[in-house]
Protein backbone atom coordinates (compact mmCIF):
# COMPACT_ATOMS: atom_id res chain seq x y z
CA UNK A 1 0.00 0.00 0.00
CA UNK A 2 2.82 2.40 0.89
CA UNK A 3 4.53 1.63 -2.42
CA UNK A 4 1.37 2.61 -4.34
CA UNK A 5 0.97 5.83 -2.35
CA UNK A 6 4.61 6.78 -2.86
CA UNK A 7 4.35 5.84 -6.54
CA UNK A 8 1.29 8.05 -7.03
CA UNK A 9 2.73 11.02 -5.13
CA UNK A 10 6.18 11.05 -6.71
CA UNK A 11 5.03 9.78 -10.11
CA UNK A 12 2.62 12.73 -10.22
CA UNK A 13 5.42 15.08 -9.16
CA UNK A 14 7.69 13.71 -11.89
CA UNK A 15 4.90 14.18 -14.43
CA UNK A 16 4.34 17.81 -13.35
CA UNK A 17 8.07 18.53 -13.38
CA UNK A 18 8.44 17.01 -16.86
CA UNK A 19 5.46 18.96 -18.15
CA UNK A 20 6.71 22.27 -16.70
CA UNK A 21 10.18 21.76 -18.17
CA UNK A 22 8.76 20.52 -21.50
CA UNK A 23 10.58 17.20 -21.05
CA UNK A 24 7.70 14.71 -21.11
CA UNK A 25 8.95 12.69 -24.08
CA UNK A 26 12.57 12.76 -22.90
CA UNK A 27 11.61 11.77 -19.35
CA UNK A 28 9.29 9.05 -20.66
CA UNK A 29 12.12 7.53 -22.72
CA UNK A 30 14.76 7.86 -20.02
CA UNK A 31 12.65 6.51 -17.17
CA UNK A 32 11.17 3.64 -19.19
CA UNK A 33 14.69 2.58 -20.20
CA UNK A 34 15.73 2.83 -16.56
CA UNK A 35 12.74 0.72 -15.45
CA UNK A 36 13.60 -2.01 -17.97
CA UNK A 37 17.15 -2.10 -16.64
CA UNK A 38 16.07 -2.12 -12.97
CA UNK A 39 13.65 -5.00 -13.54
CA UNK A 40 16.59 -7.14 -14.68
CA UNK A 41 19.25 -5.89 -12.25
CA UNK A 42 18.81 -6.00 -8.46
CA UNK A 43 22.22 -4.61 -7.51
CA UNK A 44 21.10 -0.96 -7.71
CA UNK A 45 18.23 -1.43 -5.24
CA UNK A 46 20.36 -3.63 -2.99
CA UNK A 47 22.96 -0.86 -2.77
CA UNK A 48 20.40 1.92 -2.27
CA UNK A 49 18.53 -0.04 0.43
CA UNK A 50 21.62 -1.01 2.43
CA UNK A 51 21.46 0.84 5.77
CA UNK A 52 25.21 0.52 6.32
CA UNK A 53 25.97 2.62 3.22
CA UNK A 54 26.00 6.36 3.99
CA UNK A 55 23.63 8.64 2.07
CA UNK A 56 26.58 10.56 0.61
CA UNK A 57 27.78 7.35 -1.09
CA UNK A 58 24.31 6.72 -2.47
CA UNK A 59 24.18 10.26 -3.87
CA UNK A 60 27.65 9.76 -5.31
CA UNK A 61 26.41 6.68 -7.18
CA UNK A 62 23.39 8.61 -8.53
CA UNK A 63 25.77 11.38 -9.68
CA UNK A 64 28.19 8.98 -11.37
CA UNK A 65 25.52 6.97 -13.15
CA UNK A 66 22.81 9.50 -14.02
CA UNK A 67 24.24 13.04 -14.15
CA UNK A 68 25.52 12.72 -17.72
CA UNK A 69 22.68 10.44 -18.93
CA UNK A 70 19.62 12.32 -17.66
CA UNK A 71 18.36 15.84 -18.21
CA UNK A 72 19.28 18.06 -15.25
CA UNK A 73 15.75 18.29 -13.71
CA UNK A 74 15.32 14.51 -14.02
CA UNK A 75 18.72 13.87 -12.46
CA UNK A 76 17.80 16.25 -9.61
CA UNK A 77 14.56 14.32 -9.15
CA UNK A 78 16.59 11.15 -8.55
CA UNK A 79 18.68 13.00 -5.98
CA UNK A 80 15.52 14.12 -4.17
CA UNK A 81 14.26 10.52 -4.12
CA UNK A 82 17.58 9.49 -2.60
CA UNK A 83 17.48 12.26 0.04
CA UNK A 84 13.88 11.42 0.97
CA UNK A 85 14.72 7.69 1.01
CA UNK A 86 12.15 6.97 -1.67
CA UNK A 87 14.52 5.64 -4.34
CA UNK A 88 13.49 2.06 -3.50
CA UNK A 89 10.02 2.91 -4.85
CA UNK A 90 11.44 3.98 -8.19
CA UNK A 91 9.66 1.26 -10.20
CA UNK A 92 6.27 2.24 -8.72
CA UNK A 93 7.04 5.91 -9.39
CA UNK A 94 7.96 5.17 -13.00
CA UNK A 95 4.83 3.04 -13.41
CA UNK A 96 2.60 5.92 -12.24
CA UNK A 97 4.54 8.40 -14.39
CA UNK A 98 4.10 6.10 -17.40
CA UNK A 99 0.35 5.87 -16.72
CA UNK A 100 0.03 9.67 -16.54
CA UNK A 101 2.03 10.21 -19.74
CA UNK A 102 -0.09 7.63 -21.59
CA UNK A 103 -3.27 9.32 -20.37
CA UNK A 104 -1.92 12.69 -21.55
CA UNK A 105 -1.12 11.22 -24.98
CA UNK A 106 -4.43 9.32 -25.25
CA UNK A 107 -2.76 5.91 -25.16
CA UNK A 108 -4.21 2.97 -23.24
CA UNK A 109 -2.31 -0.21 -22.55
CA UNK A 110 -4.34 -3.41 -22.89
CA UNK A 111 -3.27 -6.97 -22.14
CA UNK A 112 -4.68 -9.87 -24.10
CA UNK A 113 -4.22 -13.38 -22.71
CA UNK A 114 -4.87 -16.24 -25.13
CA UNK A 115 -4.12 -19.96 -25.26
CA UNK A 116 -2.44 -19.60 -28.67
CA UNK A 117 -0.86 -16.57 -30.34
CA UNK A 118 -3.19 -14.19 -32.18
CA UNK A 119 -2.91 -13.91 -35.95
CA UNK A 120 -2.04 -10.46 -37.26
CA UNK A 121 -5.62 -9.90 -38.50
CA UNK A 122 -7.05 -10.95 -35.09
CA UNK A 123 -4.59 -8.63 -33.38
CA UNK A 124 -5.48 -5.66 -35.59
CA UNK A 125 -9.21 -6.37 -35.23
CA UNK A 126 -8.94 -6.49 -31.45
CA UNK A 127 -6.95 -3.25 -31.35
CA UNK A 128 -9.56 -1.57 -33.59
CA UNK A 129 -12.47 -2.77 -31.40
CA UNK A 130 -10.76 -1.65 -28.19
CA UNK A 131 -9.85 1.71 -29.72
CA UNK A 132 -13.48 2.20 -30.82
CA UNK A 133 -14.69 1.26 -27.32
CA UNK A 134 -12.31 3.58 -25.46
CA UNK A 135 -11.67 6.34 -27.99
CA UNK A 136 -7.96 5.94 -27.25
CA UNK A 137 -4.94 4.60 -29.09
CA UNK A 138 -4.37 1.03 -27.88
CA UNK A 139 -1.02 -0.61 -27.21
CA UNK A 140 -1.61 -4.34 -26.99
CA UNK A 141 0.53 -6.57 -24.81
CA UNK A 142 -0.02 -10.24 -25.66
CA UNK A 143 0.49 -13.12 -23.25
CA UNK A 144 0.07 -16.83 -23.80
CA UNK A 145 -1.53 -19.00 -21.09
CA UNK A 146 -2.58 -22.43 -22.30
CA UNK A 147 -4.53 -23.05 -19.09
CA UNK A 148 -7.35 -20.80 -20.32
CA UNK A 149 -8.05 -23.51 -22.94
CA UNK A 150 -9.38 -21.08 -25.56
CA UNK A 151 -10.99 -17.69 -26.00
CA UNK A 152 -9.26 -14.67 -24.45
CA UNK A 153 -8.98 -12.50 -21.39
CA UNK A 154 -8.66 -8.75 -21.94
CA UNK A 155 -7.29 -6.48 -19.23
CA UNK A 156 -7.96 -2.83 -20.03
CA UNK A 157 -6.92 -0.38 -17.30
CA UNK A 158 -8.94 -1.61 -14.30
CA UNK A 159 -11.42 -3.76 -16.22
CA UNK A 160 -11.08 -7.50 -16.88
CA UNK A 161 -13.13 -9.09 -19.64
CA UNK A 162 -12.86 -12.85 -19.26
CA UNK A 163 -14.02 -14.62 -22.41
CA UNK A 164 -11.92 -17.70 -21.81
CA UNK A 165 -13.28 -21.21 -22.14
CA UNK A 166 -11.92 -21.98 -18.66
CA UNK A 167 -14.05 -19.16 -17.22
CA UNK A 168 -17.10 -20.32 -19.16
CA UNK A 169 -16.66 -23.84 -17.83
CA UNK A 170 -16.34 -22.52 -14.27
CA UNK A 171 -19.58 -20.55 -14.68
CA UNK A 172 -21.35 -23.62 -16.08
CA UNK A 173 -20.04 -25.76 -13.21
CA UNK A 174 -21.28 -23.22 -10.66
CA UNK A 175 -24.76 -23.16 -12.28
CA UNK A 176 -24.92 -26.95 -12.34
CA UNK A 177 -23.89 -27.15 -8.69
CA UNK A 178 -26.78 -24.83 -7.74
CA UNK A 179 -29.37 -26.97 -9.53
CA UNK A 180 -31.47 -29.13 -7.30
CA UNK A 181 -32.31 -32.49 -8.74
CA UNK A 182 -35.50 -34.12 -7.41
Q: What is the pLDDT along the chain (182 residues), one digit of tens a residue?
A: 788 899 999 999 999 999 999 999 999 999 999 999 888 888 888 888 888 989 899 999 999 999 999 999 999 999 999 999 898 899 999 999 999 999 899 999 899 999 999 999 999 999 999 999 889 999 999 999 999 999 999 998 778 999 888 898 898 899 888 887 77
Q: Give pLDDT, residue 139.
A: 93
Q: Clarify whether residues 90 and 120 are in a common domain.
A: no
Question: Structure pTM?
Answer: 0.74
- At 2 the pLDDT is 86
Q: Are residues 8 and 83 in the same domain?
A: yes
Long-range contacts: 150-156, Cβ < 8 Å, 24+? 150/115, 151/114, 151/115, 152/112, 152/113, 152/114, 153/112, 153/113, 153/114, 154/110, 154/111, 154/112, 154/113, 154/126, 154/130, 155/110, 155/111, 155/112, 155/113, 156/108, 156/110, 156/111, 156/130
Final residue in a domain of this structure, among 58, 88, 103: 103
Q: What's residue 41's pLDDT?
A: 84
Which of 78, 103, 128 corresponds to the end of one domain? Answer: 103
Q: Print the domain residue range for 120.
A: 107-178
Amino acid sequence: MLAQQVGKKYGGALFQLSKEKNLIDTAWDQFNDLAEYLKKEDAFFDFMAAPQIPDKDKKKLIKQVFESRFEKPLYNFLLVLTEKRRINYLLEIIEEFDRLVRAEKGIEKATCITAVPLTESERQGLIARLAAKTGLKIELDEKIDQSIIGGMIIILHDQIIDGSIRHGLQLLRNRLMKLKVH
